[in-house]
Copies of this chain bind each other. A is one copy, B any other.
Amino acid sequence: MTRIATLSDTRNNCHNCRLRSLCLPDNLSKDDLGELDSIVQRRKPVARGAYLFQAGERFQSIFAVRTGAVKTLTVQANGDEHISGFHLPGEVIGLDAIVSRDHPSTAIALESTSVCEIPYAELESLGDRMPAVQHQLVRVMSRELLAEHHTGHLLTRRAAEQRLAVVLLTFSERFARRGLSALRFRLPMSRLDLGNYLGLVPETMSRTFRRLEEQGLVSITGKEIELVDICAMKALAYGNEEARAATA
């Protein structure tokens, strides 16, 4: 096992990583890439349910998802947990910790997941010497802010059907950008997690999935999702009342 992991590690570097353009190495020159590569620690896969970091832990590194999927969540004083995001390969997590000494949120693997660990102190000093590295970090954070605004808008949508439609379409786009099918994919998280993220209880999740299926928009088999009528789906998610009435 160790042998294979080692082989895999030597083969894996930012330069030949398929996710390069989605991740921290985007927009870097070959030289910059090599330097970044030298500080990235490619760790062996962690099991489903494992913590990448926990709220309150000392912040030391940011992480890029390489394979698998991760959820990040915040824990409230009363013990309530809220899932703040799901993270697919190429996405960087832990960025909300830079401003504080400790991690404000917790990251948990949703399935067998491998990540690239990037010690922040080293990344910062690398950025001091190589402006492009620093610029790309800022770009990644800016993109993250943009995504959060999108999420904020998602959560103020009243109807559960709309929230679910939006989030399914968002996953569709994200999978497509990673070279996977935009119409047929497997959600990596449980209904419980997705409901927590959307602010809906599991019962409502179940009923809403069924309603989308009955309307002929999607076909669902466990966690496998097939978008049957993506146009109607978009009309439901983003359209106005007239557009929805027209498709109905």
A131 in complex: contacting residue of B127, B153, B155, B238, CB < 8 Å:
B127
What B residues does A143 contact at CB under 8 A? 99
What B residues does A144 contact at CB under 8 A? 145
Residue of B nearest to A235 (CB): B78
A189 smallest CB distance to B (angstroms)? 15
A76 touches B131 (CB 8 A): no
A127 smallest CB distance to B (angstroms)? 7
How many A residues face the partner with a CB closer than 8 A?
50
What B residues does A49 contact at CB under 8 A? none
* Contacts of A101-117 to chain B: CB distance below 8 A: 104-105
Chain A residues in contact with chain B, CB under 8 A?
A: 74, 76-80, 82, 84, 95-100, 104-105, 124, 127-128, 131, 134-135, 137-146, 148-153, 155-158, 196-199, 238-240, 243
Q: List 14 A–B pairs whose Cβ atoms lie within 8 Å, in order of A's numbering.
A: A74-B149, A77-B238, A82-B156, A84-B149, A84-B152, A98-B142, A99-B140, A124-B135, A127-B131, A145-B145, A148-B152, A155-B155, A156-B198, A158-B199
